[in-house]
Structure 1
């Protein structure tokens, strides 16, 4: 909770100084983009709520940016650049209702809706690593890295291939290639190589590497991961593999992406 006076760029009171400072930074950026916004906020009482644990890192910061941009009638990408920084991809995601690709253009980001129809999606899980990654720290690490144009083209080519792939095996190969390229570019160790060498499927880090969620492609032979787990069978192998390692947030693709 925080009481903020935008007219004087000041936090009047708060029970969390760090969060209040971050919020003030976003709101003052909105004022710089739209000076009338300061008058619009006088006496306003705003409540924001998440429908998932904040530690999950499912875009709480970018959703806030998108919401404030809508409220202040400002450009969300400009607001993001002037506050938290980053590529703007997550800000674009806050305003999309389906899959899309994102590219930083010369004048404005290019957001392109795409259709993804993977026949193997029942083998995909999102597993929370029981730790929250600081997005701003990840951005700072990325900005220190020198990446050449060829590396970016390779990543983009794999992304396009992933959209249209129909084979479980080919998707696993693409995931692994993508993970290896990111690892090389950021000088970090792939999460599967570091912690889950015995897992027979494929694991890809998401968001800021080292925390938040992993995308997991279970082995093709495991059966339907939405069915009941039966000891001695391969059904739900992936979910139980991670449960046995102490991970509790294990969300099937359909629950996370499609909402059912």
Structure 2
């Protein structure tokens, strides 16, 4: 784990990339921050997490890091020990963790019940297509244990994901007063809540005509397995849906659950404060 600091003093803000070794966008965003070394108004901890997995260009070495939190300093796997060490480094920090997907080219925040209040204050400052409440599916993830905003920044390995990650990192720091600027988007961010997994049986060929975050109507085809159409029994919004992103499921079904921020939330929106 690589750790650098911007500014002087005890950091209360952290920016993390490289939770997964095959998702380089967050790592590049962190490295760009370190190289640029901006004159921050509040100290910031910059972390590249799973260096061993990054070196091997694989999601993880022995276990998925984002499924083993809080970890164990004496654990059997590299990722269990790393999870415990990373949590210790993030203690007392409001954190941005950057990821990428195999299903969506845009940006969206991944939230848990524990971070919903934080998301309400920070997400309107970020350029996001959506925010997703994953509270039913967060076991072992970082967002369960620390004040963390996790953002999927684009398609895995793409230049666009790196550009998005760099933009989101700067917006996050501006929202918390570490960098100048930072204005909430008037329209806010649409919030979706995951309801269930969409299973995927064994087959030779898969296709997903559904588009993430666009409503699938009852009776509409959302995927095919070896040419056989799968039709929605009831309306839903697809999230993280792709033909081959997961081994046993296409992705998730969600419902639209309001917005984070925006004019409907009121005219007086103060800059978010770092929890203490």
Give the TM-score, by structure 2 length: 0.26
Structure that is richer in helix per residue: 1
Structure that is richer in strand per residue: 2
Give the TM-score, by structure 1 length: 0.27
